[in-house]
Amino acid sequence: MVEGARPLLAITMGDAAGIGPEIVIKALTEHRKAIDAVGRAVVVGDLGALERAAHIVDRTVALRPADPPFPTLLGDEAVAVHAVGALNLLSIPFGQVSAEAGAAAVAYLERAIDLAKAGAVDGIVTAPINKEAIHRAGVDFPGHTEILAERTGTDLFGLTLVAPDLAVVHLSTHLPLSEAIALVTRERVSRFIRLTHTMGRQLGYERPRIAVAGLNPHAGEEGLFGTEEREAIAPAVAEARSSGIDVMGPVSPDVVFLQARRGVYDMVLAMYHDQGHVAVKTMGFERGVNVTAGLPIVRTSVDHGTAFDIAGTGRADPTSLIEAFILAARITLNR
């Protein structure tokens, strides 16, 4: 990135059968000033699907094909689109799982990753994909995060949800709860505390204050309700504190998120997917942003799915996508 320039971010369109194209068009038309204030955007997706979305949301917009090296400044209200393939939209109705749409959504993501690795863009912002659709397309990954990790050769990575007054890193993501519990080891917790510290620095905290949530009710209550806290979590916290990281824990999971929201902590390390997701989605669903910690490239995403139930109606809310773009720009500059 040129010093002093606004970051250039690739927005992947997501699944064409979902709300992705609609929120992309809304974000880059209704909310263009908010986008332009922090960065520059190029959409990676399908021109036809974006044109269809513009008609649905009743927005007049010029879609300008763009290939790398991308222009430094567009100079007008056009939306730059880096097209990857061409969908047969007649075979992709809204709100239905489609292998074609799933394969295309993965292709958009892979192209954006390659652009970021090559330095053609400064980061990636992703609209939602549908897990069943990508599985029907033969893609054996649970979602965006795992594809990003594999394609960038990243071993240690973590899902982070950021909402107003709350930022949560997850020790594990899409796993059965029994498997997630087995991952609560001293080594893994220790590595994720360091990952959380790095993520906090990228979010702008000079010395992030981290709370590590307990796994069991009341953080195990001194072993009465489980031993993971004293055998894995507490030793990892002590090790991290001795290295200079500002971290506390294990903190009872029924109060830790409220304490973070009140400013006691800057970041929370949750022990499994739903422990962190329930808190963030309850406290800030509309403005929640998904960030992948640990990658060599910047990636943020909306904190919601493809919303097949409202796809094609024009009712989709672009707020999370706008917040994801703003946060990606901020992280890029902090890096």
pLDDT of residue 1: 61
Q: What is the mean pLDDT of the chain?
A: 93
Q: What is the pLDDT of residues 138-174, one digit of tens each?
A: 998 878 988 999 999 999 999 999 988 899 999 998 8
pTM of the model: 0.91
Q: What is the pLDDT of residues 213-231, one digit of tens each?
A: 999 999 878 888 889 999 9
Q: Does residue 4 have a pLDDT over 70?
A: no
Could you tell me the pLDDT band of residue 303, with boundaries at 50, 70 and 90? confident
Check if the beta carbon of residue 168 is closer than 8 Å to that of residue 267. Answer: yes
CATH superfamily of 156-294: Isopropylmalate Dehydrogenase (3.40.718.10)
Q: Please give the CATH architecture assigned to the domain spanning 1-154+295-335.
A: 3-Layer(aba) Sandwich (3.40)
Structure tokens at 241: 């504190």
- DSSP code for 229: I
Q: Does residue 73 have a pLDDT over 70?
A: no
Give the Cα separation of 76 and 255 in Å (integer).
49
Give the Cα separation of 168 and 188 in Å (integer).
16
Residue 293: what residue type?
A
Structure tokens at 226: 């489980």
Strand partners, 299: 124
Give the Cα separation of 92 and 84 in Å (integer).
16
Check if the beta carbon of residue 273 is closer than 8 Å to that of residue 309. Answer: no
pLDDT of residue 71: 65
- DSSP code for 260: H
Domain boundaries of the chain, sorted by first residue: 1-154+295-335, 156-294
189 membership: H or E segment, kind and range = helix 186-202
Q: Are strands 289-293 and 158-163 parallel, antiparallel or unpaired?
A: antiparallel
Beta strands in 13-155 (DSSP E): 40-45, 63-65, 79-83, 123-126
pLDDT: is 58 or 141 the higher one? Answer: 58
Could you tell me the pLDDT band of residue 288, with boundaries at 50, 70 and 90? confident
Q: Which residue has the tokens 């506390």?
A: 248
Check if the beta carbon of residue 267 is closer than 8 Å to that of residue 260. Answer: yes
Could you tell me the pLDDT band of residue 76, with boundaries at 50, 70 and 90? low
156-294 shares the fold of 1-154+295-335: yes
pLDDT of residue 145: 87
What percentage of the chain exceeds 90 in pLDDT? Answer: 84
